[in-house]
Amino acid sequence: MKKNANSQEHSTSSLTGCQEAGTIKCSGWTGSGGGSAGGASSGGSAIIFCAPSGSGKSTIINSLMPHEELNLAFSVSATTRPPRDQEQHGVEYLFMSPEEFREHIAADDFIEYEEVYEDRYYGTLKAQVEKQLAEGQNVIFDVDVHGGMRLKDYFGDRALSLFIQPPSIEELRRRLEGRGTDAPEVIQQRLDRAAYELSFAPRFDQIVVNDNLETAKADAYTVICDFLGPTPHPPL
């Protein structure tokens, strides 16, 4: 089921009730073919995911990755943090020193970047992503709302931006509390952040409301298939 995103407010106050399970809302995007699956000669597309913490974004993304017909690959971001365990340069991340990272900033090599705290940077290098797209990969980005909008501005019609939305702030609180990993003050910080992020939802191409996880997974798959163009739709 699809609705125009402009047909109702997407403020925090409008999210106090339970919305229809798995609803997909359109934000002025008409679909059909930002790119092509399977590495067509036109190159790949960018698939941008954003969501408040606890919305199920990572679970939805991970459910999509095994679908070979979508030819998805994660973007390989640059970071100044040291490798963990078996992480390899050029596979999980492009590892570099803070000095190297700042040289790339000065050279305007990044589409977007963020300094999480002093000398701990993460960013998306233009050359790395363009290389993946040229190889025909449809590149998945898991970023915050500001990074998502910068990526969409950069790629334009080559990108599909999706916002994974919880059915309500109350439900989001329940999910965060159910994790049992955060102190009450941390949960409140996440909820305050979520209220801010939700205000950006109408600026995304598609909003998938995760009221029912399996339905939301299927909705995200369908939206991406429609964007990429004709491709097989095997059972989920």
Looking at residue 35, what is its pLDDT? 45
Mean pLDDT of 144-158: 93
Asked if the model's pLDDT at residue 60 lies above 90, the reply is yes
| β partners of residue 50 | 163
Fold for domain 1-71+136-236? Rossmann fold (3.40.50)
Asked if the model's pLDDT at residue 50 lies above 60, the reply is yes
Asked if the model's pLDDT at residue 181 lies above 60, the reply is yes
Looking at residue 17, what is its pLDDT? 31
Mean pLDDT of 54-60: 91
Asked if the model's pLDDT at residue 39 lies above 80, the reply is no
101 vs 231 pLDDT, higher one: 101
For 123, the token pair is: 């960013």
Largest pairwise CA distance in the chain: 51
Asked if the model's pLDDT at residue 207 lies above 80, the reply is yes
Average pLDDT, the chain: 82
Looking at residue 29, what is its pLDDT? 39
19 vs 182 pLDDT, higher one: 182
Q: Edge to edge, what strands does the sheet with 93-95 contain?
A: 93-95, 77-79, 120-125, 110-117
What is the number of helices (H) and of strands (E) in the chain?
Answer: 7, 11
Using only C-alpha atoms, the chain has a radius of gyration, in whole angstroms, of 18
Distance CA 35, CA 124 (A): 20
Asked if the model's pLDDT at residue 37 lies above 80, the reply is no
Q: What is the DSSP string of 12-45?
A: GGGGSSPPPTT-EEESS---S-SS-TT--TT---
- CATH class (in words) of the domain with range 74-135: alpha beta
236 vs 138 pLDDT, higher one: 138
Looking at residue 91, what is its pLDDT? 86
Query: What is the pLDDT confidence band of residue 209, given thresholds at 50, 70 and 90?
Result: very high
Q: What percent of the chain has pLDDT over 70?
A: 80
Asked if the model's pLDDT at residue 161 lies above 80, the reply is yes
Q: Return the domain boundaries, the chain.
A: 1-71+136-236, 74-135
Looking at residue 53, what is its pLDDT? 85
Domains 1-71+136-236 and 74-135 share a fold: no
Distance CA 15, CA 129 (A): 35
Looking at residue 166, what is its pLDDT? 92
Angstrom CA distances, 10 to 41, 45, 138, 168, stand at 38, 27, 29, 11
Query: What is the pLDDT confidence band of residue 26, given thresholds at 50, 70 and 90?
Result: very low
Candidate from 5-14, 132-141, 145-154, 193-202 with smallest mean pLDDT: 5-14
Asked if the model's pLDDT at residue 20 lies above 50, the reply is no
Looking at residue 234, what is its pLDDT? 52
